[in-house]
A = this chain, B = another copy of it.
Amino acid sequence: MALRGTLGVFALVLGLILPASVLALWPIPTGLSTGTTPLTLAPYFSFDVAIPDAPADLIEAVAQAHYYLETDKLGRLVVGRGVNDTAALKGAKSLSSLKLILVEGAKVQSISTESVKPIGTRSEEYTLTIPEDGSCATLTANSTLGLYRGLTTFGQLWYYYGGVTYTLIAPIDITDVPAYPFRGFALDTSRNFFPVADLTRTLDAMSWVKINTFHWHITDSQSFPLMVADYPELAINGAYSSEETYSESDVQYLVQYAAARGIDVLLEIDTPGHTAIIGTTYPNYVACFDASPWASYANEPPAGQLRFALPEVMNFTASLLSSIAKTLPSYYFSTGGDELNTNCYANDLPTQQQLNATGMTLNDALSSFTQTTHAALMAQGKTPVVWEEMVLNWNVTLSNETIVMVWISSEDAAAVAEKGFRIIQAPSNYFYLDCGGGGWLGDNPAGNSWCDPFKTWSESYTFDPLANLTETQYELVLGGEQLLWAEQSGPQNLDPIVWPRAASSAEIFWSAKQPTGAALNVTEALPRLHDVRYRMVQRGLNPIPLQPQWCALRPNACDLYA
């Protein structure tokens, strides 16, 4: 990519300690140079989109960026919230425009088109230059997606006090490029349902921290909210109610909403486990359907898994996945594959009869099932994504292109890499946002969360994407994501349980290190994350407070070792 080379000269960083008023940037740009000159945003500030035939979604993104500039009104997180900046701003120059430029020769495509390109072919990098004298600022990128990322950064530069929108750190030169191509957030919409408005609000927040993948665990054993044109009964019988469904147009709307914000939607239909609810429509396809005691047949109620050994179930599943995948622009599709309960199959007569008749082992049958379903997806140009058990617990033939999500433990990445697969880091011991909420099973007051304790933003932030890997394996790590499993979540607590914590991985996988080259550091990061959180509040989200406000207003005063 030419841009990186051209812009590298701007990647200067002044000293080892970032000035206090850069705090609002998140993820921290990979190249950052700032000054100490106050600069205000002119009341008549405008964006100058210097791109012939600019795509509609870029125009909309610019309008959105303008709206945030006018409405964020974020006071600086210091005692007095900016009252002491007023003197410094007297006589400050004003910035009246930001010019958006695509590098010469770049093909003009919509953000939505760029966002769903194959991993490795998207260009998210950009450069942003804001002179201190009020002359035109410029945002340059190889693609509209890069411009979108730069607009997001531009929006984080400004504070507000007493009618004035300003920065104290002009001139600003940023050249920024993500360290990893996959930066995700995963949501389970089966255990409890989330209306479309909750998902669009979440997609907005994801875009603010440059997360680029929405991993949508849309179905599970508890409910099947997805309306599939070829299999409508699955939602009719399997959704919690007719209101608690995602129609085809809902999905198309969300996929488009995401893409316009630089986000690819990785849909997951978890199979062959986590499928009990399919039994309400196809009782013959599901083993140990709602069997009792559920704990003998599943990790959580209700029990029920696809009888993957049966040819009709294999064909049904391949057809179902194809029917869904064909409606989606993403190159990726997850078939799940976690937590298969073997006892369920050991006690399932149809499965045992089929295995006996064919002389196959359960593992053979699973391999056959997986090959068939994956082949159907690959025929549509999709790359399959699976959970780690598919390569670590089972001997299943998979395409080398398959992407593997590590979730049980961060320790497992090395074993997956050993097998040569590309990895998405989603380890429960760092990235599961639901941990620590206590046990939710009934009749068990002493029950705790299985993945106790709660993963604080800072614990998550210490995750090392390359731990235990050899240097040659590094390139297998595509990135990572934080995840919310929704047994104890719904629209009521979505914002506070996710935000701002999910920003931790967003920075790990975009920035990887500080602009100085130093490792990411929780002490440096906390004041910036407060800023992220307070800006989210200004934008109408409900992120949890990370500390007493007394601490938020006094960077590092509440450090344990302060």
| Residue from the list B241, B490, B547, B561 in contact with A487, Cβ < 8 A | B547
User: Does A193 lie within 8 Å of B549, measured CB to CB?
Assistant: yes
Residue of B nearest to A290 (CB): B557
Residues in B with CB closer than 8 Å to A454 are 436-438, 448-449, 454
CB distance from A390 to the nearest CB of B (A): 24
| Stretch among A134-142, A294-302, A318-326 lining the B interface | A294-302
Residue of B nearest to A445 (CB): B458
Assembly CA distance A300 to B557 (angstroms):
11
Residues in B with CB closer than 8 Å to A452 are 452-453
Residue of A193, A292, A440 with most chain B CB atoms under a 10 A cut-off: A440
- A222 in contact (CB, < 8 A): yes
- A402 in contact (CB, < 8 A): no
Residues in B with CB closer than 8 Å to A81 are 241
Taking CB atoms and an 8 Å cut-off, the chain A residues in 505-562 that contact chain B are 522-523, 526, 537, 541-551, 553, 556-562
CB distance from A551 to the nearest CB of B (A): 7
- A405 in contact (CB, < 8 A): no
Residue of A489, A495, A544, A548 with most chain B CB atoms under a 10 A cut-off: A548
Residues in B with CB closer than 8 Å to A5 are none
Assembly CA distance A133 to B544 (angstroms):
51
User: Does A562 lie within 8 Å of B292, measured CB to CB?
Assistant: yes
Residues in B with CB closer than 8 Å to A558 are 294, 300-301, 440-442
Residue of B nearest to A81 (CB): B241
- A488 in contact (CB, < 8 A): yes
A456 and B442 contact, Cβ closer than 8 Å, known pairs A301-B558, A302-B557 = no
- A23 in contact (CB, < 8 A): no
A547 and B442 contact, Cβ closer than 8 Å, known pairs A293-B562, A493-B493, A558-B301 = yes
Residues in B with CB closer than 8 Å to A6 are none
- A447 in contact (CB, < 8 A): yes
User: Does A445 lie within 8 Å of B456, measured CB to CB?
Assistant: yes
| Residue from the list B190, B446, B458, B550 in contact with A302, Cβ < 8 A | B550
- A356 in contact (CB, < 8 A): no
Residues in B with CB closer than 8 Å to A550 are 191, 221-223, 240, 277, 301-302
- A86 in contact (CB, < 8 A): no
Q: Mark A235-275, 1 if CB is under 8 A from B, else 0.
A: 00000110010000000000000000000000000000000
Residue of B nearest to A491 (CB): B542
Question: Oligomeric state, in number of copies?
Answer: 2
Residue of A222, A459, A549 with most chain B CB atoms under a 10 A cut-off: A549
| Residue from the list B459, B488, B545 in contact with A546, Cβ < 8 A | B488
Residue of B nearest to A548 (CB): B191
How many of chain A's residues have a CB under 8 angstroms from any CB in B? 76
- A284 in contact (CB, < 8 A): no
User: Does A301 lie within 8 Å of B223, measured CB to CB?
Assistant: no
Residues in B with CB closer than 8 Å to A458 are 439, 442, 444-445, 447
User: Does A548 lie within 8 Å of B487, measured CB to CB?
Assistant: yes
User: Does B496 lie within 8 Å of A493, measured CB to CB?
Assistant: yes
User: Does B301 lie within 8 Å of A544, measured CB to CB?
Assistant: no
User: Does A459 lie within 8 Å of B445, measured CB to CB?
Assistant: yes
User: Does B442 lie within 8 Å of A523, measured CB to CB?
Assistant: yes
CB distance from A498 to the nearest CB of B (A): 11
Q: Mark A427-467, 1 if CB is under 8 A from B, else 0.
A: 00000000011111111111111001111101101100000
CB distance from A280 to the nearest CB of B (A): 10
User: Does A549 lie within 8 Å of B223, measured CB to CB?
Assistant: yes
User: Does A496 lie within 8 Å of B492, measured CB to CB?
Assistant: yes
A192 and B492 contact, Cβ closer than 8 Å, known pairs A442-B522, A442-B559, A445-B522 = no
Residue of B nearest to A244 (CB): B549
Assembly CA distance A358 to B60 (angstroms):
74
Residues in B with CB closer than 8 Å to A277 are 550
Assembly CA distance A526 to B445 (angstroms):
11
Assembly CA distance A301 to B292 (angstroms):
51
* Nearest 4 interchain pairs by C-beta: A493-B496, A438-B456, A443-B559, A222-B550
Additional A-B contact list (14), CB under 8 Å, known A190-B548, A442-B526, A452-B452: A193-B549, A221-B550, A240-B549, A240-B553, A444-B560, A444-B561, A447-B560, A449-B454, A453-B453, A454-B454, A489-B544, A490-B544, A492-B495, A492-B496
Show 25 A/B contacts (Cβ-Cβ < 8 Å), sorted by A.
Answer: A191-B548, A192-B545, A222-B548, A240-B550, A301-B557, A302-B550, A436-B438, A436-B453, A437-B454, A438-B453, A440-B547, A441-B559, A442-B458, A442-B556, A443-B522, A444-B458, A444-B522, A445-B461, A446-B459, A448-B454, A452-B453, A488-B547, A493-B493, A493-B544, A496-B497
Q: Could you tell me which A residues sit within 8 Å of B by CB distance?
A: 81, 190-193, 221-223, 240-241, 244, 277, 292-295, 300-302, 436-449, 452-456, 458-459, 461-462, 486-493, 495-497, 522-523, 526, 537, 541-551, 553, 556-562
